[in-house]
Amino acid sequence: MSALGTGTANGGISVLHAAGLGKGCSVGIELQCEVKLVKGEKFPSDEHGLLETVMQVWTESGYPQFDDIGWEIHSDIPIGQGLKSSAAVACAALRALDNASWTGLGDFEIVDMAVEAQRRAGCTITGSMDDAWAAISSGWKLVDPSVPSRESILMEGDIEENLEVLIGLRGSRVLSTESFDFVSHSKLFERALASLSGGSILSAISTNGMAISASMKDDDSLRLCNSLIVRGALAAGISGSGPAVAAICHADTVGVAETLEDSCEQVIRTRFTRPIGIEEEVDRWE
C-alpha cells in the first residue's frame, strides 16, 4: 500500500511509576516502533482502539482530516509488558499524521495528543506523559502528568551511555493496575523520587521496581531483581506495571543475562536511546 506518512518512536523503562506519587519518569530504550499512514482501509490488531483515538484527537485539535486511510505498525516493543508500547504507538502514529500533512508539530504537541489518546483508549491510568516523553526524546524527564506538556517537566537529565539494558519477559500480565496497592508503599516511591532528585537514576530504577513489586505482591520479581543485583547488575526492577523486569549493567558483566534466562521466557538485549547525532558519531569510530 502507498504510505502517506511515516512516524517512529521507541520503547522505554520506568524510573518512577506515576501512580505512586503523581509524578512519573521513564527513559527510552532502543526498541523501535514504526507506524505508517497508508491509503486504503487497513487496521492492525489494536486491542484498546488506540489508533482510533489518535485520529479523533488529531482531528479535534484542528489538523487535516484523512479519508479512506489505514495503518501499518512494525514494532520491536513487546505489548503489555510495561515497556511503553502504547505510548510508542501513539507518538509514532501522530508523527505519521504530522509527516503526511506537513504540519511541523513539535514534541510538546505530540506528547499532549499522545496522552489524550491513551487516556481515551483506556490503556493508561496516569496518561503516561513520562512514557510519551521517553518515546520521542533521549535522557530522562520527571514530569507532572496533571498539567500540559509545556509545564510538565520538573527535572531532566542524561543517563550514562554504553550501558546494556537487559529485558526479561516473564509471560503475560495477570493483574490490572487497579488492583495494585500503591498507597501502602508510598515510602518506597518517595525513596525512588529522592534518589532521582539526587541524580541517582539507577538507584531510582531499583527502588521504584521494589515499590511496584510490593504493590503487586509479586515476590518472585523482587527475588529475581535482588539476584540480578548480587550478580553485578547496576540496577534492576519491574518496568511500568510489569511484568517485564529490566536490568542495567556493563556490557562485559557476567551472570546477569544468565540469571534472567533461567527465570524468564525471553531476554532482550538493548541500550538506552541516545541524542540525535550521537549514534552516527559513535558508529563512525566503531
Q: How far is Cα 260 from Cα 278, in angstroms, rounded to an integer? A: 30
Q: Are residue 224 and residue 146 in the same domain, yes or no? A: no
Last residue of a domain, one of 100, 128, 157: 157
Residue 94 and residue 53 in contact, taking contact as beta carbons nearer than 8 Å = no
Last residue of a domain, one of 94, 125, 157: 157
Q: Are residue 63 and residue 107 in the same domain, yes or no? A: yes
Q: Are residue 144 and residue 204 in the same domain, yes or no? A: no
Kindly report the average pLDDT of the chain as a whole number: 91
Q: How far is Cα 163 from Cα 250, in angstroms, rounded to an integer? A: 5
| pLDDT-derived band at 85, boundaries 50, 70, 90 | very high
- As a whole-number percent, the residues of the chain with pLDDT over 90 amount to 76
Interacting residues of 193 by C-beta distance below 8 A, sequence separation 6+: 16, 21, 23, 142, 204
Q: Classify residue 96 as exposed, middle or buried by CB count within 10 Å of its CB (0-12, 13-18, 19+).
A: buried
Quick: pLDDT tens for 141-171. Answer: 999 999 999 999 999 999 887 899 999 999 8
Last residue of a domain, one of 103, 137, 157: 157
CATH of the domain at 265: 3.30.70.890
Which structural domain range is residue 10 located in?
Answer: 3-157
233 assigned to some structural domain: yes
Q: Identity (one letter) of the amino acid at 84?
A: K
Position 125 pLDDT exceeds 60: yes
Position 97 pLDDT exceeds 60: yes
Nearest Cα to 4, choosing from 107, 117, 96, 83?
A: 96
Count of structural domains within the chain:
2
76 assigned to some structural domain: yes
pTM given for the model: 0.92
Q: Are residue 11 and residue 122 in the same domain, yes or no? A: yes
Q: Are residue 19 and residue 141 in the same domain, yes or no? A: yes
Q: Are residue 221 and residue 137 in the same domain, yes or no? A: no
CB atoms within 10 A of CB 124: 26
Quick: pLDDT tens for 164-216. Answer: 999 999 988 766 666 678 888 999 999 999 999 999 999 999 999 999 999 98
186 assigned to some structural domain: yes
Position 243 pLDDT exceeds 50: yes
